[in-house]
Structure 1
Amino acid sequence: MSTTLAWMDRVFAAYWPPVLAALVLFWAYSVITRALAIWAGHEVAFKDPKPARTAKSGASGSMAWAVIKWLVLAVVLACATGYGLFLLLGRPSLPARNAFTTTELLDLLKIGLAVVGGLGAVVALSVAYRKQQVSEAAHVIANDQELREHDKFFNERYGSAAEQLGHERFAVRLAGVYAMTGLADDWPAGRQMCVNVLCGYLRTPYPQNDSTDREVRQEIIKTLLDHVWGHSPQGRPIRMDFRKVQFEDLDLSRRKFSAEMDFEEAVFHGKLTNFTECDFTGVVNFYGATFASEVTSFAGSDFRGAIANFQRAQFIGKTVDFTETNIVSSGLSFEEARVVDGATVSFRGTRAQATSISFENAVMRKAELNFSTVLFMPPDERKFQSRINLRQIAAVGTTITFQDSKINDAVLEFNRAELRDCTINGDRLVLNNTDVLVRDVRPAEAAEALRELSRIVRKAPAPEPAAISASCVWCSPA
């Protein structure tokens, strides 16, 4: 152990002077070069304490200066190594010149030539390294130039397509649709921008008497919805902004809808707006939309883990059809919606679990809300109880139907509802572990009918496996 420590002391004693000298020389070199640059009037760039993570590779300075730096570094290292060995060997004294034999002189000559050869190798390596730096710098410049040309090419295509979309002639505008779509296919970095331009065209004032412009709009809608672009280079889904767009006879059947499609305040008109057999996930926004088509169909669609936002929507067509939909772990919000002019919102045959359907604060005039033959299944493993919320609705001359439905482990809430000249049909309604909440309902006849339905349910024995059956049909007096 003592021998090892003694050897380490000798190594430390041998090398700390040259290492310290090298550090001092490096510091002095840095200070002197900066002082000379400032004295000569040059700008000196001080290093950022938080430098950028990436920097372009390249070469700076002259070739001669690069070779000199490497030679100086090699000489310093050689001197430090030789001096360290000299100290490590106990500072041996060299013999007199006459004491060397011919063989020893030849060996010394070989050592000298080896040192010279080493310095030459250092020069060759420094030149090769310098050439590699220059080559890398040229490669970086070439890549930058290629990227600039690439972006310039796409920007020119973008400008041309946008100009075509604004042209007066129908054929040119239609060509602009195809040009912008093709650019979106070829340009992932600008794909969202191209989609935004096409959606922006749809938000311009709707042409009432221009069939050609309606055809251009239909082609834009078809082109956008038929493309599957996935995600942008930043990892975000391509968003289609259809806010305030007017759609005529829109057919979006058998498609998937999620947060990348926004129909806020859109207007759907014509004979049929078709969302049949679609898959809805995430947040799908129909906030403030107007459904004026004769038939708006969501029949056979699946809502799984979805939040469908129909808040403040207006239903003024004949039928909004949600028949035979599957709604699982989802929420359909029709809060503050308006169902008027004889419109029907139908959930007939719907299958639901862990679901909330809310018409809170909705306004219904001579309308129909149809929950007949629906099946609400017991909660899933998360114990989320289903809920049909008709709280604070204002209904006049409206029919609300629960005929032949089976509702398990749910809540039906009518608190503070106003039901004037309405019909509530609960014929053959089957309720199992379901609470019917009735408080401050007006008029009194409607409140009493709903309380009677609630009392029938609460007084019935628990099912074993048969379900509890209750019926309540009430019409307010004219």
Structure 2
Amino acid sequence: MRRYGLAATIALAALALFGVSAALPVFDGRVNGADALRTGGLAAGSVVALYALWLNDRRRRVEERRQELEGDRTELDRERIADERFARAVELLGHEADQVRVGALHALAGLARSSPGHTQTVLDVLCSYLRRPFAHPRYDGGEWERDERNAADRELQVRLTAQRLVTDLLPEAAPDAPAYDLDFTNATLEYFDLSGRRIGTLVARYARLFHDNNLSRCEVLGPVWMTAASTHAGGRFRCRDAVFRGRAQFAGVEFGGPVVFDRSVFHGVANFRGAALHSQVSFAGCRFEGVAKFAEVTCADADLDALLGEAAVVSERE
């Protein structure tokens, strides 16, 4: 096409040169031969200049397309490398050495930071690791051999690393921050701090919570499912100034230690039906903007009506 275009351009330029040079003296007797030839040369040069502009535009479009292809190829290579890193890290989570498992957890977190599109998948893997059955002497008591106790201590360090990385990967509560889902069904958690984080859906059915776990100042956009979760060994559950945008399901929870929901806001249904509160409980300054269900709740520390009387708003109670 470029060869034919060049030939056509030369032909048009020659035609413009001779045509204009011959036509000008005929239509304007004042123009001499030199001026006519000069004007014809300008016309021929204009034709050549237009062809040069077309070539430059064509070259520019080809270069842009080449850059787009290189960008697509680079992105595909980046995704392939990320997938390989992810697969390798997940494989190492089954390694018998605890330091290798810790390294695999950090590799997954690094992948989520460098490739935000993998964040939810990495969080799913971390949550899955925390859902694995786990026992420790200070949880379950009983007689433990020295090797078993040491193995449990090493595994506990791995799990605490997984908890910390989950917290680090969650964005702080802000209107424009993304919201990721967490699933801790049947998980064993200790000193888990999600305070000030933004969460999509939070699932912790039948979770076992030890020592001190914190949801204060967090914002949960989706539903919260903590059905039959429990705190043990006098562990605290702190949930001050939290915002629950969807349904908050705490039915059947058993809190063995102090529980604090001060100034938290429940926009949807708040279901505490059948909850067992064995220690100090506080709902001071809470707002229940949806239906608040407290049927069959047992409080060892104080009367439930007195506790809810401290709440700022209880729009409807069942």
What TM-score, normalized by structure 2, do the two folds share? 0.72
Q: In 1, distance between residues paired with 2:131 and 2:239? A: 30
Distance 1:332 1:275, change over 3 A: farther
State yes or no: 1:264 paired with 2:208.
no
Structure with more relative contact order (C-alpha pairs < 8 Å, separation 6 or more): 2
1:249 maps to 190
Matched, 1:115 2:43: yes
1:215 is aligned to 2:152: no
The one-letter amino acid of 1:169's match is A
Give the 3 Å change call, closer, same or farther, for CA 131–322 of structure 1 in structure 2. Answer: closer
Gaps of 5+ in 1: 1-61, 83-93, 378-384, 392-478
1:301 aligned to which of 227, 240, 246: 240
Q: In the TM superposition, what is the alpha-carbon distance from 1:219 to its structure 2 partner?
A: 1.1
Cα 1:322–1:388 shift into 2, 3 Å: farther
* Equivalent AA in structure 2 for residue 337 of structure 1: G
**Correspondence for 2:53:** 125
Contact 2:292 2:314 in 1 (8 A): no
Question: Scaled by the length of structure 1, what TM-score is found?
Answer: 0.51
Asked if 1:291 corresponds to 2:226, the answer is no
Counterpart of 1:326 (choices 263, 268, 274) is 263
Maintained 8 Å contact 1:301/1:326:
yes
Please list every run of 5 or more consecutive structure 2 residues that lacks an aligned counterpart in the other structure: 137-147
Q: Counterparts in 2 of 1:94-105, with a 5 A limit?
A: 103-105=31-33
What is the CA deviation profile of residues 11-41 of structure 1, one whole-angstrom value per residue up to 9, with x for unaligned ones? xxxxxxxxxxxxxxxxxxxxxxxxxxxxxxx
Q: Structure 1 residues 238 and 322, CA, compared in 2 at 3 Å: closer, same or farther? A: closer
**CA displacement at 1:158 relative to structure 2:** 2.0
Query: Greater helix percent: which structure?
Result: 2
C-alpha distance in 1, partners of 2:164/2:29?
Answer: 97
* 1:310 paired to 2:249: yes
**In the alignment, is the contact (CA less than 8 A) between 2:279 and 2:299 conserved in 1?**
no
Please report how far the alpha carbon of residue 236 of structure 1 lies from its aligned counterpart in structure 2 after TM superposition: 6.9
From 220, 226, 234, the equivalent of 2:168 is 226
% identity of equivalent residues: 16
Secondary structure of 2:133's aligned partner: coil
Deviation at 1:291, TM superposition (A): 0.8
Distance in 2 (CA, whole Å) between partners of 1:238 and 1:207 is 31
Amino acid at match of 1:321: V
After superposition, the CA RMSD in angstroms is: 4.1
Counterparts of 2:131 and 2:183 in 1: how far apart (Å)?
7
C-alpha change, 1:308 and 1:70, in structure 2 (3 Å) is: farther
Structure 1 counterpart of 2:263, one-letter code: N
> How many residue pairs are counted as aligned between the two chains?
294
Matches within 5 A, 1:179-190: 179-190=107-118
Cα distance change on mapping 1:278 and 1:298 into 2, 3 Å: farther
**Could you tell me which amino acid in structure 2 is paired with residue 246 of structure 1?**
A
Secondary structure of 2:227's match? coil
CA distance in 2, matches of 1:337, 1:69: 89
Inter-CA distance 243–135: structure 2 relative to 1 (3 Å threshold): same
Partner deviation per Cα, 1:99-122 (whole Å, 9 max, x = no partner): 986843434333332332222222
